[in-house]
Structure 1
Amino acid sequence: MTNELLNPSAAAEYLGSTQSTLSKWRMSGSGPAYIKVGHQVRYARTDLEAWVASCRRESTSHNAA
């Protein structure tokens, strides 16, 4: 099975965010990994899933190691 690539609109919908937020994350170097092919930006679904998992916190006092 191949890894599904999502455009920014579909990726934003998957994350419950906006295309604008994804753009800001790309500019700041935060957010999920993305793929740039020419002028097109794509997100691998597995990268989005991994990024969401990395954001998981046990409590508000939990700091990333």
Structure 2
Amino acid sequence: MASRLWSIEDVSEYLGVPVQTLYSWRTRHYGPPARKVGKYLRYKEEDVAAWLDSLTLSA
């Protein structure tokens, strides 16, 4: 069975960024990939984790 899709609020909490930041990133084609489900944005947990892992670490 597939895992539950995350809402934008779930991703906001997970990443520790405001919801508005996620909307802003989306308009700039940045951030974890989201899908439109009706009028809602939904995220796959593994996509969010993969996007986060793809970021370079700054020392």
1:20-59 paired onto structure 2 within 5 Å: 20-57=20-57, 59=58
Q: How many residues align?
A: 59
**Runs of 4+ with >6 A deviation:** none
Q: What is the CA distance between 1:54 and its match in structure 2?
A: 0.4
Q: Deviations over 1:10-60 (max 9, x none)?
A: 110011111000000111111100010121101110011001100132x45
Quote the residue 1:15 is aligned against: 15
Give the strand-richer structure, 1 or 2.
1
Q: Calculate the TM-score normalised by the size of structure 1.
A: 0.80
Note the residue ranges of structure 2 that are not aligned, 5 or more in a row. Answer: none
State the distance in 2 between where 1:5 and 1:11 align. Answer: 10
Note the residue ranges of structure 1 that are not aligned, 5 or more in a row. Answer: 61-65
Q: Calculate the TM-score normalised by the size of structure 2.
A: 0.87
